[in-house]
Amino acid sequence: MASPEGGALVPPHRRKGGAPDLNYELRPNKFTVAMHHGGFFCGIGTNRAYIDGKLDFFDECDNQTWSQDSIDNMLNQLGYPASWLEHVYWLEPGYGMAHGLRTMNFQRDATKVAESSLCCKI
């Protein structure tokens, strides 16, 4: 499989603990996903919080090839079944959890996530 740039397609990979943030300055189509997992939501509205979770980073995401397979791959690397995709949310840049937390729906949101990655690298 090849990327739009003609090179081999590299799936997002889980960052090793303590590894530095990547610099995507020369690769504007690349971004990092910060995935909070293993916790639970508590509260409502502006008092909503995600607690007791873990945080992992997935580097080398590509806004030109971003798809449901990207999330499936990340879930697999974390040890979750692909069926957990229905429990994936994303936070729209510029909004707090009360107004920007969205259930991930690839039919609706894939383009928004890819467009957001042009200005928000994590």
pLDDT digits (tens, 9 = 90+) for 62-96: 999 888 888 889 999 999 987 887 888 999 888 88
Q: pTM for this one?
A: 0.83
Q: How confident is the model at residue 3 (pLDDT cuts 50, 70, 90)?
A: very low
Q: What is the mean pLDDT of residues 27-45?
A: 92
In the chain, % helix, strand, coil (3-state, to 5) comes to: 30, 25, 45
**Domain assignments of the chain as residue spans, ordered by start:** 25-116
Counting beta carbons within 10 angstroms of the beta carbon of residue 22, is it exposed (0 to 12), middle (13 to 18) or buried (19 or more)?
middle
83's tokens: 């069926």
Select the more confidently predicted residue: 107 or 80: 80
Distances (CA, A) of 100 to 79, 92, 93, 95: 27, 5, 7, 5
